[in-house]
Chains A and B, each alone.
Chain A
Amino acid sequence: MIGSLLEDPDPVRRPSNLSLVDVILWALRVAIVVGVAVSTFVTLSNTRLSGDQWRDLFIFGISQGSVYALIALGYTLVYGVLLMINFAHGDVFMFGGMTAFFAADWLNDNGLLNTTPYIAVPVILLVGAISSMIVALLLERIAYRPLRRAPRLVPLITAIGASLFISNSVRGLYGDGVKAYPRVDFFQGTFNIFGIPILKSHATVIVSALVLMSALYWFVERTRTGRAMRAVSEDKDTAALMGIDVDRIISITFAIGGMLAGAAGVLYAIVYNQVIWSMGFLPGIKAFTAAVLGGIGNIIGAMLGGLILGVLESLAPTLLLAGYHVPSPNQLRDVIAFSVLVLVLIFRPYGLFGRPEGK
Chain B
Amino acid sequence: MPRAFTMRAAIRSGLIAGVVMIYLVAVGIASAFAKREVVTGYLTLGHLMLVIPPLAIGYAMAGRPLPAYGRVTQALVAGLAAGTLFAAAFLAAVALSPGIRLVLNRVSTALLDFVGFRNLGLEPATGALLNLGLAGALALIGGLVRIAPVAVRRAIVGGGSALLVMSMVEPFLRPRLLQLSLSSVAQFIYTSHGLATLSAALILALGAVLAVSWPKVRSTARSRLAAADPGTRSTLRWAAILVAIAFLYTLPTLSGSFLTQVLVLVGFYVLLGLGLNIVVGYAGLLDLGYVAFYAVGAYFTALITSPTSALGWGLNFWIALPIVVLLSAMVGLFIGAPVLRLRGDYLAIVTLGFGEIARVLLGSDALKPWLGGPNGILSVPFMLGNGTYFLPIVGKVTGPAATYFPLLGFCILAAFIAYRLKYSRTGRAWNAMREDEDVAQATGISTVNYKLLAFAMGASVGCVGGAIYATHLQGVVPGGFLLLVSITVLAVVVLGGMGSIAGVIVGAFALIGTPELLREFAEYKLLVYGAVLVAVMLLRPEGLIPDASRRAELEEARELEEGELKVEYDEISGDA
* A-to-B contact residues, CB < 8 Å: 6-7, 19-21, 24-25, 28, 84-85, 102, 105, 143, 146-147, 150, 152-158, 160-169, 171-175, 281, 285, 288, 321, 326-329, 331-332, 334-335, 338-339, 341-342, 345-346, 349
Identity of the chain A residue whose Cβ is nearest the Cβ of B541 in the assembled complex: A154
Q: Does B48 contact A (CB under 8 A)?
A: no
Residue contact A346 to B530, C-beta cutoff 8 Å: no
Residues of chain A lying within 8 A (CB to CB) of residue B344: 152-153, 156
Residues of chain A lying within 8 A (CB to CB) of residue B337: 20-21, 24-25
Identity of the chain B residue whose Cβ is nearest the Cβ of A296 in the assembled complex: B346
Q: How far is the CA of A150 from the CA of B352 in the complex (A)?
A: 22
A–B Cβ pairs within 8 angstroms, 27 of them: A7-B438, A20-B337, A21-B337, A28-B338, A85-B345, A85-B349, A143-B538, A146-B538, A147-B538, A153-B344, A157-B494, A157-B533, A160-B288, A168-B524, A168-B527, A172-B27, A172-B28, A172-B106, A173-B26, A281-B483, A331-B366, A335-B361, A338-B353, A342-B354, A345-B342, A346-B338, A346-B342
Identity of the chain B residue whose Cβ is nearest the Cβ of A165 in the assembled complex: B530
Q: Does B476 contact A (CB under 8 A)?
A: no
Residues of chain B lying within 8 A (CB to CB) of residue A281: 483
Query: Which residues of B140-184 have CB atoms within 8 Å of chain A's CB atoms?
Result: none
* Extra A-B contacts (17), CB below 8 Å, given A6-B439, A158-B534, A334-B356: A25-B338, A143-B534, A156-B345, A156-B348, A157-B494, A161-B530, A164-B526, A165-B527, A169-B23, A327-B368, A332-B366, A335-B357, A335-B364, A338-B353, A341-B349, A345-B346, A345-B350
Residues of chain B lying within 8 A (CB to CB) of residue A338: 353, 356-357, 360
Top 4 closest pairs, chain A to chain B, by CB? A161-B533, A164-B530, A165-B530, A172-B27
Q: How far is the CA of A158 from the CA of B23 in the complex (A)?
A: 20
Known A172-B524, A331-B365, A346-B350; judge A162-B534 contact (CB<8 A).
yes
Residue contact A161 to B366, C-beta cutoff 8 Å: no
Output the least CB separation between B515 and chain A (Å). 13
Q: How far is the CA of A155 from the CA of B286 in the complex (A)?
A: 12
Output the least CB separation between B278 and chain A (Å). 16
Identity of the chain A residue whose Cβ is nearest the Cβ of B105 in the assembled complex: A175
Q: Does B408 contact A (CB under 8 A)?
A: no
Output the least CB separation between B197 and chain A (Å). 33
Q: How far is the CA of A156 from the CA of B28 in the complex (A)?
A: 28
Interface residues contributed by chain B, number (CB under 8 Å) = 58
Residue contact A160 to B353, C-beta cutoff 8 Å: no
Residues of chain B lying within 8 A (CB to CB) of residue A339: 353, 357
Identity of the chain B residue whose Cβ is nearest the Cβ of A105 in the assembled complex: B102
Residues of chain B lying within 8 A (CB to CB) of residue A172: 26-29, 106, 524, 527
Main secondary structure of the interface of A (DSSP, over half): helix
Q: Does B46 contact A (CB under 8 A)?
A: no
Known A153-B284, A161-B534, A164-B526; judge A328-B365 contact (CB<8 A).
yes
Residue contact A160 to B533, C-beta cutoff 8 Å: yes
Output the least CB separation between B17 and chain A (Å). 14
Q: Mark B335-377, 1 if CB is under 8 A from A, else 0.
A: 0011110111110111011101100110011101000000000
Most chain A beta-carbon contacts within 10 A, residue among B349, B439, B448: B349
Q: How far is the CA of A301 from the CA of B254 in the complex (A)?
A: 62
Residue contact A161 to B531, C-beta cutoff 8 Å: yes
Identity of the chain B residue whose Cβ is nearest the Cβ of A328 in the assembled complex: B365
Output the least CB separation between A143 and chain B (Å). 6
Q: How far is the CA of A288 from the CA of B29 in the complex (A)?
A: 32
Q: How far is the CA of A252 from the CA of B27 in the complex (A)?
A: 29
Q: Does B104 contact A (CB under 8 A)?
A: yes
Known A156-B344, A160-B487; judge A342-B357 contact (CB<8 A).
yes
Identity of the chain A residue whose Cβ is nearest the Cβ of B452 in the assembled complex: A21
Q: Does B532 contact A (CB under 8 A)?
A: yes
Residue contact B487 to A346, C-beta cutoff 8 Å: no
Output the least CB separation between B519 and chain A (Å). 16
Known A327-B365, A346-B339; judge A165-B534 contact (CB<8 A).
yes
Identity of the chain A residue whose Cβ is nearest the Cβ of B534 in the assembled complex: A161
Residue contact B349 to A160, C-beta cutoff 8 Å: no
Residue contact B360 to A332, C-beta cutoff 8 Å: yes
Output the least CB separation between B542 and chain A (Å). 11
Q: How far is the CA of A155 from the CA of B344 in the complex (A)?
A: 11
Residue contact B527 to A102, C-beta cutoff 8 Å: no
Identity of the chain B residue whose Cβ is nearest the Cβ of A346 in the assembled complex: B338
Known A6-B438, A21-B340; judge A158-B533 contact (CB<8 A).
yes
Residues of chain A lying within 8 A (CB to CB) of residue B343: 152
Most chain A beta-carbon contacts within 10 A, residue among B344, B439, B529: B344
Q: Does B383 contact A (CB under 8 A)?
A: no
Known A21-B340, A21-B448, A154-B537; judge A161-B26 contact (CB<8 A).
no
Residues of chain A lying within 8 A (CB to CB) of residue B491: 161
Known A21-B340, A154-B541, A173-B104; judge A335-B360 contact (CB<8 A).
yes
Residues of chain A lying within 8 A (CB to CB) of residue B288: 160
Q: How far is the CA of A154 from the CA of B339 in the complex (A)?
A: 20
Q: Does B103 contact A (CB under 8 A)?
A: yes
Output the least CB separation between A297 and chain B (Å). 13
Q: Does B505 contact A (CB under 8 A)?
A: no
Q: How far is the CA of A165 from the CA of B536 in the complex (A)?
A: 14
Residue contact B27 to A169, C-beta cutoff 8 Å: yes
Q: How far is the CA of A7 from the CA of B441 in the complex (A)?
A: 11
Q: Does B128 contact A (CB under 8 A)?
A: no
Q: How far is the CA of A20 from the CA of B340 in the complex (A)?
A: 12
Most chain B beta-carbon contacts within 10 A, residue among A152, A154, A338: A338
Q: How far is the CA of A171 from the CA of B361 in the complex (A)?
A: 28
Q: Does B490 contact A (CB under 8 A)?
A: yes
Identity of the chain A residue whose Cβ is nearest the Cβ of B286 in the assembled complex: A153
Residues of chain B lying within 8 A (CB to CB) of residue A25: 337-338
Q: How far is the CA of A298 from the CA of B356 in the complex (A)?
A: 26
Q: How far is the CA of A169 from the CA of B22 in the complex (A)?
A: 12
Residue contact B342 to A156, C-beta cutoff 8 Å: no
Residue contact A161 to B537, C-beta cutoff 8 Å: yes
Q: How far is the CA of A334 from the CA of B356 in the complex (A)?
A: 9
Q: How far is the CA of A85 from the CA of B339 in the complex (A)?
A: 17
Residue contact B346 to A349, C-beta cutoff 8 Å: yes
Q: How far is the CA of A326 from the CA of B530 in the complex (A)?
A: 38
Most chain B beta-carbon contacts within 10 A, residue among A168, A174, A339: A168
Q: How far is the CA of A331 from the CA of B348 in the complex (A)?
A: 24
Output the least CB separation between B308 and chain A (Å). 22
Residue contact B366 to A326, C-beta cutoff 8 Å: yes
Residues of chain A lying within 8 A (CB to CB) of residue B448: 19, 21
Most chain A beta-carbon contacts within 10 A, residue among B344, B532, B537: B537
